[in-house]
Structure 1
Amino acid sequence: MKTFRSLLRQRLRRDRWQLIVWVLVIGLLAAFSAASLNNTYGTAQSRIEVMHLAIANPAILVLRGLPQGTSLASVTFFEIYTFLALLAGLMSTFLAVRHTRAEEESGRAELVAATEAARITPTVATIAHGLIANVLVALAVGLGFIANGLPAYGSFVAGAAVGGAGVAFLAVGLFTSQLMSTSRGANGLAAAVVVLAYFLRGIGDSIGTVKPDGVHMVSAWPTWLSPIGWGEQMDAWGTDNWWPLLLDLAFAAAVIAVVFVLQSQRDTGASLLAERAGRADARASLNGPLGLAWRLQWGTIVGWAAGGAATGALAGALASVVSSSIANDPTLVSMRKALASIGSGGTGSLTQIFITAIFSIVGVLAAACATQVVVRLRQEEAGGTAEVLLATPVSRVRWLLEFMLVGLFAVVIVLVAAGLASAFSAVGAGDSSSMIGASFAAASAQLPVSLVYLGVLSLVFVVVPNWSIVIAWAALGLGAFIGIFGSFVGIPDWLHQLSPFTHSPVVTGTGDWSGGIWMFAIAVVATIAAAALIRRRDFAIA
């Protein structure tokens, strides 16, 4: 028991700042969304209209949630719950991998296992740490809603829905740590599961059944495959069902039981999916940092490109159908404005506006791919492998810039994959060939945003390396939420303007690339500054 308490305190102390950031960000997003929605949809008529808009547009249901009424509280749950659950899931998987597979990878787990703590107690301490983190998230979400006048009981049901999803994904992170041989692989697989759960829930919501009142829906079966979908069924401020929380807890308990069985059967440092044996001789392409950077990250890049292609295919397949339904229904004329706000405004056909709006999500995927390149820079530095590479005739500037060049290639690959998938699916659905140009225009508009994240976060990595990973993912998450959905929920304009996604070039109508030009300039300046400053600092090994 004493070793358990010591290990739990060590985890809480080690993660204290990261945990504070995660809890505050998730809680403040809940509070801010509730306040903004109260200002934007304060009347019953406006809330009825927004529910009709959402139910008429499958894409919005995929991105937002399940309509469950028109009260201010129910609309708030519809708007923000799935995004908060996604963040809680990522927080939990990163936490699980950081204290399990990453500890084995660094060799610290073997040292701890040599003490009376053995191998089981550290895992139990990690589980307790994750539970505490998700309880804090649940409380922060509940208090954030209560602070904006929403009923207290339903607020804590909503918080429990978010925290329950986080607990389920904590178990997923522990399981992927058993499967994969590296923390990078475990994090990547766990994050992919979280995103898959998000979209499974979205697919189930989009093909669900509308109730006779026209403002409630029943999810289809794919929603029940997702912990995020289980939280939706708690119906905060509606029926306030607590039983779906038992699904989260039962799932977590079952997966954790499997984790303990697997951990007892393998050696420390080993994994169920062993790394393949390497070649006897390295390829010529690995003779420099560029080829090495590509080799280390090509699998991750393929994963982000697949996500971009799937989103692009969804945009192309649904564009004309959704646009026709909006154009033919006089009660849905404000949907054009809503879609334009998601896609950085602009004029043009409804089909073009719809594709541009959905490609904002592709922009998030491309920016995430660029962010992961910067994260890899920090991991190489913290793991000590960068210093080994720099002991050869490779300068720090070359090492940095060639990693960033891989980031540029990665962003282009994600956007091209999305553009091709959108064009082919649109033409396959019977749209005109002009949709090919619209798809690639929408994809190209996301390039400046991705390059801003690549350049600015590289500068952050050079200036504050120990904080670079936390800042990188926080900047991406907040930027995406504020930029893409900010105007939809009525956040202040000054805050909306802080997000790079707000300034994506407008490619519909006459078009406007002024925002893109400014972002290109910022990316170039940040890259030059990063290259200049990296020559003057010591490498910080974790």
Structure 2
Amino acid sequence: MVLLRQRIRRDRLQLTLWIVGIAVLTYASMSAVFSTYGEEQDRREILGVAIATRTILVFRGTPNGVDDGAFAFFLLFAWLALMGGLMSTFLAVRHTRKEEEEGRAEAVAATAAGRILPTTATVVHGVLANVALGLLTALALMATGLEPGGSFVWGAAMTVSGFAFLAFGLFAAQLFRTSRGANSLSVTFVLAAYLLRGIGDAAGTPSEDLLHVTPAWPSWLSPIGYGQFTGAYVENDLTPLLIPLAFAAALIGLVFALQSVRDQGASLLAGRAGRATAGPVLSSSFGLAWRLNTSILLAWTAGGIATGLLATSLSSVVNQAATDAPQILETLRNAIGSEASIEEAFVAVFYSIVGILAACCAVQVGIRARQEEAHGTAELVLGTPVPRLRWLLEYWVVGVIVIVIVLAASALAGIVGAGNAADPESLIPNVLEAALAQLPACLVFLGLTLLVFAFLPRATIPAGWTVVGVAAILGVWGPILQAPDWLVNLSPFHHSPVPSGGGTDWTGGFWMLAIGLGLGAVAVWSMRRRELAPGG
């Protein structure tokens, strides 16, 4: 109980933000769905277009009718389950491999708790967090007027899929020697589960009335897919949840078996041996800062490339979809706050996602600086003739470079994907401008993260991710959910210029650029006299 209370106390802020945030987003999203697609004919058109084009199913879910609950389940469940999966895997790695990495797990294991009890406390902690998430989600759904039976089935599907992701996060922590490696594999697993479910839906068999789809076999490889098989509000069948529940139980059993025989700090996969001598890149402090962030850059750049390709390669599909269902264009215009054409709006929405990816990459660069300080390795660098101001400036420069690379890679991918468009010559300038328009907001998040690092170093990691997460929700979802203007305007993403045939207003972009550069300058200058703050 002591270890469980310690985990609950340690995660009280993070889990509250995750669980309450997802529940509030569920309630707000449901309200927006009912206001935007309140008529049955509108829903029939959307489902017909989605099933006819199939690609839309990758990003939504399994169509199962036009009733309120079934239609909302189709639109929202997969995405909410994805967020719950990330919450669970981060929790699992944070209380296992991260504890070993920091040396705290060894101290706990030397007490009467031993090897197994801390892992047991983490499992119970993760189970309680997912139960709370499922329960609050169900209550949020009921608050919008949906019937309790289907709402609790939806909540149960969220909970059980979270169990599966929690178990995989615990297993990944056994595989890798570092928390970064375990988190990377866990996030990949969550994204793969979402993608497999999407492929299964897109390859499924539609009904004759184009209101239902029977998913193909890839959906059976995904915990999110099994959650969809419950058919909340229609079948309300909890039987499919036995599969991810069994998967979680088996994997947790394997984790306990491995934990009982594995040495503290060891891993099933040996760490890669380093070079005997450093290469030319590591001959300077800037080269070291760059090298420490290359894996981060590769991961986020891959996401930017995939998003850029989708932004333009699907343009012909979206054109047809908007013709058949005008509500799609209205939704896209609400999202970007501009009366752009369908292609311009679609590109702008997708590149706003690219902007979020680039901002996350920049935030992670700032977090890496904090990790180097916390682990004591920054002190070794600063023990040489490298001043604090120059050291943080180099991290800021690396942050700017990674932002530019992610945006440039997504723009090149968008140009490649534009080859499938009806008029690629007119689409390519929109792609280039949409990618460039994300730069100012990304600089704001880089500056904010480094500013927190300079003044409140121990708050860098939670503050960095919280700020970019809240801003992403407000900037992308806020206009769609008809949030108050003052609230939406708090997000830098909302002020990113939107390319439009009638001209692009860069006023907000220039303000964001000035703010981002100013924040970075203040952060770097403030570092010159700050004492180092090692430890967590």
Q: TM-score, normalised by structure 1?
A: 0.91
- Percent identical among aligned pairs is 50
Question: Mean Cα displacement is larger for which, 362-371 or 434-443?
Answer: 434-443
Give matches, 1:94-109, under 5 Å. Answer: 94-109=90-105
Write the distance in 1 (CA, Å) between the matches of 2:213 and 2:488: 31
Question: Does 1:427 pair with 2:422?
Answer: no
What residue is the counterpart of 2:382 in the other structure?
390
Distance change (3 Å), C-alpha of 1:158 and 1:511: same
Question: Mean Cα displacement is larger for which, 122-131 or 235-244?
Answer: 235-244
Secondary structure at the aligned position of 2:270 is classed as coil
Whether contact under 8 Å (2:53, 2:317) holds in the other structure is: no
Write the distance in 1 (CA, Å) between the matches of 2:2 and 2:312: 54
Whether contact under 8 Å (1:139, 1:159) holds in the other structure is: yes
How many angstroms does 1:298 deviate by? 0.6
How many angstroms does 1:301 deviate by? 1.1
What residue is the counterpart of 1:311 in the other structure?
307
Counterpart amino acid of residue 470 in structure 2: L
Distance change (3 Å), C-alpha of 1:287 and 1:419: same
How many angstroms does 1:390 deviate by? 2.3
Distance change (3 Å), C-alpha of 1:241 and 1:533: farther
Write the distance in 1 (CA, Å) between the matches of 2:427 and 2:36: 34
Write the distance in 2 (CA, Å) between the matches of 1:522 and 1:236: 46
Write the distance in 2 (CA, Å) between the matches of 1:437 and 1:207: 33
Q: TM-score, normalised by structure 2?
A: 0.92
Whether contact under 8 Å (1:137, 1:163) holds in the other structure is: yes
What residue is the counterpart of 1:341 in the other structure?
334
2:525 to 532, 535, 539: 532
Question: Does 1:212 pair with 2:208?
Answer: yes
What residue is the counterpart of 1:285 in the other structure?
281
Whether contact under 8 Å (2:337, 2:479) holds in the other structure is: no
Distance change (3 Å), C-alpha of 1:229 and 1:512: farther
Unaligned stretches of 5+ in structure 1?
A: none
1:110 to 106, 111, 114: 106
Distance change (3 Å), C-alpha of 1:500 and 1:235: farther
Secondary structure at the aligned position of 1:237 is classed as coil
Question: Does 1:18 pair with 2:11?
Answer: no
Question: Does 1:326 pair with 2:359?
Answer: no
What residue is the counterpart of 2:227 in the other structure?
231
Distance change (3 Å), C-alpha of 1:204 and 1:31: same
How many angstroms does 1:265 deviate by? 4.5
Write the distance in 2 (CA, Å) between the matches of 1:69 and 1:475: 37
Write the distance in 2 (CA, Å) between the matches of 1:419 and 1:284: 30
How many angstroms does 1:100 deviate by? 0.9
- Could you give the per-residue CA deviations for residues 363-395 of structure 1, whole angstroms, max 9, x where no partner exists? 222222122212222222222222332232222
Give matches, 1:257-268, under 5 Å. Answer: 257-268=253-264
Write the distance in 2 (CA, Å) between the matches of 1:465 and 1:36: 38
Counterpart amino acid of residue 463 in structure 1: F
Counterpart amino acid of residue 475 in structure 1: V
Give matches, 1:99-498, under 5 Å. Answer: 99-323=95-319, 325-326=320-321, 329=323, 331-348=324-341, 350-427=342-419, 432-498=424-490
Write the distance in 2 (CA, Å) between the matches of 1:81 and 1:356: 24
Question: Mean Cα displacement is larger for which, 103-112 or 387-396?
Answer: 387-396
Counterpart amino acid of residue 321 in structure 2: I
Write the distance in 2 (CA, Å) between the matches of 1:264 and 1:27: 37
Distance change (3 Å), C-alpha of 1:214 and 1:425: same
Write the distance in 2 (CA, Å) between the matches of 1:286 and 1:208: 51
Question: Does 1:27 pair with 2:23?
Answer: yes
Question: Mean Cα displacement is larger for which, 101-110 or 467-476?
Answer: 467-476
Write the distance in 1 (CA, Å) between the matches of 2:477 and 2:214: 24
Aligned length: 534
What residue is the counterpart of 1:504 in the other structure?
496
Write the distance in 1 (CA, Å) between the matches of 2:277 and 2:410: 36
- Could you give the per-residue CA deviations for residues 160-179 of structure 1, whole angstroms, max 9, x where no partner exists? 22222221111121121112
How many angstroms does 1:153 deviate by? 2.0
Question: Mean Cα displacement is larger for which, 361-370 or 199-208?
Answer: 199-208
Give matches, 1:64-83, under 5 Å. Answer: 64-83=60-79
Write the distance in 2 (CA, Å) between the matches of 1:489 and 1:65: 20
How many angstroms does 1:19 deviate by? 2.0
Distance change (3 Å), C-alpha of 1:471 and 1:428: same
- Could you give the per-residue CA deviations for residues 83-112 of structure 1, whole angstroms, max 9, x where no partner exists? 321221111111111111111111222222
Whether contact under 8 Å (1:204, 1:222) holds in the other structure is: yes
Write the distance in 1 (CA, Å) between the matches of 2:240 and 2:99: 33
- Could you give the per-residue CA deviations for residues 335-383 of structure 1, whole angstroms, max 9, x where no partner exists? 22323334553424x3343333322222222222122212222222222
Whether contact under 8 Å (1:289, 1:403) holds in the other structure is: no
Report the aligned-residue RMSD.
2.5
How many angstroms does 1:308 deviate by? 1.5
How many angstroms does 1:479 deviate by? 2.5
Unaligned stretches of 5+ in structure 2?
A: none
What residue is the counterpart of 2:516 in the other structure?
523
Whether contact under 8 Å (1:342, 1:357) holds in the other structure is: yes
How many angstroms does 1:154 deviate by? 1.7
Distance change (3 Å), C-alpha of 1:205 and 1:485: farther
Whether contact under 8 Å (1:362, 1:415) holds in the other structure is: yes
Distance change (3 Å), C-alpha of 1:299 and 1:422: same
Write the distance in 2 (CA, Å) between the matches of 1:219 and 1:487: 32
Write the distance in 1 (CA, Å) between the matches of 2:79 and 2:436: 26
Distance change (3 Å), C-alpha of 1:285 and 1:344: farther
